[in-house]
Structure 1
Amino acid sequence: MSNPIFLALDTPTIEGARDLAAKVKGHIGGVKLGLEFFCAHGHHGVHEIAALGLPIFLDLKLHDIPNTVAGAMQAIHVLEPAIVTIHASGGRAMMEDAKAAAGENTKVVAVSMLTSLDEADLAATGVSGSAHDQVMRLADLAQSAGLDGIVCSGHEVGAVHKQWKHGTFVVPGLRPAGATVGDQKRVVTPRQARDDGASVLVIGRPIAKAEDPLAAARAIEATL
């Protein structure tokens, strides 16, 4: 895609999301709608944002038994999302069924490890080894299950790209140089992530919470 920036519209209102996306439309490649937005507004809200003409990334992080995830994937066919997320930790069968049930033009990517987690958090949930090792294991599993790609932090995207040359790699938790990190623990700049092989750059607060979102989006785009 010509512009890899997907703006995370993590806002509780349709009007706020639509107004923000419309303001920066010329400097982003698509919009990401997450659980907060989807639970509040459902299909109607997605249709309202899709009317802007930008690709839609539904970041639903589906994680359940294979049959349930496949059913959920079929239920969103009508929305024609460009990208949908599921959790790689749901296992190979779940990922295979999710991909089989997805729309023809929908890329299914697996969340490997949330960027709000670090190795101490992994250990607390019983996962041994480093964050890098965990991401690489789940990337292997997602690739073998026939998915289109994975979601990982900028710290791992370079290594994943080397072993999965033609995958789609979604990188969240990005912060421009000098920006506040917030609740993210493993961050890089958008430029670094792109250089390391990221296909989609998910950027939220650095644009959405900026005093001038248009200027912020334009500045980030200029670094790519």
Structure 2
Amino acid sequence: MAGQLIVGLDVSSRARAEEIVAALGDTVEYYKIGYQCFYGADGFALGKALIAAGKKVFFDLKLLDIDNTVEKGVAAIAETGAAMLTVHAYPKAMQAARRGAEGSTLTVLGVTVLTSMDDQDVRDAGYARDAAGLVALRAQQARDSGIGGIVASPHEAEMVRTIVGPKMAIVTPGIRPSGSAAGDQKRIMTPAQALAAGASHLVVARPIIEAPDPAAAARAILAEMASKGTRLA
């Protein structure tokens, strides 16, 4: 289970990020570095240091640009030995990312619909679909592009698994342990429910990094994951 839990280092200081990593010790082996940490905490160098220390690193950068730029950017990340990298789940971006990652162990993930968005947010963005419909479209396009996985809400994980099959990664943010606050997330599940729905990896940040004892919080989540409780309807 430890390999399926990814802790989001959503902090603006490298010193704080390193404190969290030290507090978690051997409890956690996988870390996500997103915008806040990447730009505010020298996250690229931090990621390379974590990789050198034997940790797995997920660079959550949501790349989207012209094909050549995406391909070259992905190739540069692949050279670090990172485990995962996100791009926006547009067909051409995913195809370019696949080319950039060729020959490496980097898993490219297509980001479908953010877990902070609901059906109204999707409509406001100009899509003539609800959130689930847009996720389904992006999942099909990710599968056809040949990348390694997608990022989706746990509420769509079961549907996505039927689309992409058993091998692709389904990485789910919006994970909240039993009894914790939803915060700004709208489509959430508990760890066990997300795994039961078909997720392969769970991203958790605030419930762990803001806990008085991050290692204890991580162990509690791992215990929930191991229970694989009943999924939501």
TM bucket (normalised to shorter chain) is over 0.9
**Displaced runs of 4+ in structure 1, greater than 6 A?**
none
Aligned to 2:112: 112
CA contact (8 A) 2:14 2:43 kept: no
Question: Greater CA deviation, 171-180 or 75-84?
Answer: 75-84
CA contact (8 A) 1:32 1:57 kept: yes
SS at match of 2:182: coil
Q: Which letter does structure 1 place at the counterpart of 2:151?
A: V
SS at match of 2:175: coil
Aligned to 1:19: 19
Distance, in Å, in 2 between the alignment partners of 1:79 and 1:13 is: 21
Map residues 1-224 of structure 1 onto 2, 5 A cutoff: 3-40=3-40, 41-88=42-89, 91-102=90-101, 104-165=104-165, 166-224=167-225
SS at match of 2:113: coil
CA contact (8 A) 2:78 2:105 kept: no
Q: Which letter does structure 2 place at the counterpart of 1:85?
A: T
How far has the Cα of 1:196 moved from its partner? Answer: 1.3
TM-score, with normalisation over the residues of structure 2? 0.90
CA contact (8 A) 2:67 2:96 kept: yes
Distance, in Å, in 2 between the alignment partners of 1:84 and 1:132 is: 23
How far has the Cα of 1:37 moved from its partner? Answer: 1.4
Q: Which runs of 5+ in 1 are unaligned?
A: none
Distance, in Å, in 1 between the alignment partners of 2:125 and 2:44 is: 34
Q: Which letter does structure 1 place at the counterpart of 2:135?
A: V
How far has the Cα of 1:156 moved from its partner? Answer: 0.2
- Aligned length in residues: 222
How far has the Cα of 1:51 moved from its partner? Answer: 3.8
TM-score, with normalisation over the residues of structure 1? 0.94
Q: Which letter does structure 2 place at the counterpart of 1:67?
A: N
How far has the Cα of 1:93 moved from its partner? Answer: 2.1
Deviations along 1:54-99, whole A, 9 cap, x unmatched?
A: 10001011011111111211222331110000000xx322211111
CA contact (8 A) 1:158 1:197 kept: yes
Q: Which letter does structure 1 place at the counterpart of 2:95?
A: E
SS at match of 1:96: helix
CA contact (8 A) 1:18 1:49 kept: no
Identity %, equivalent residues: 38
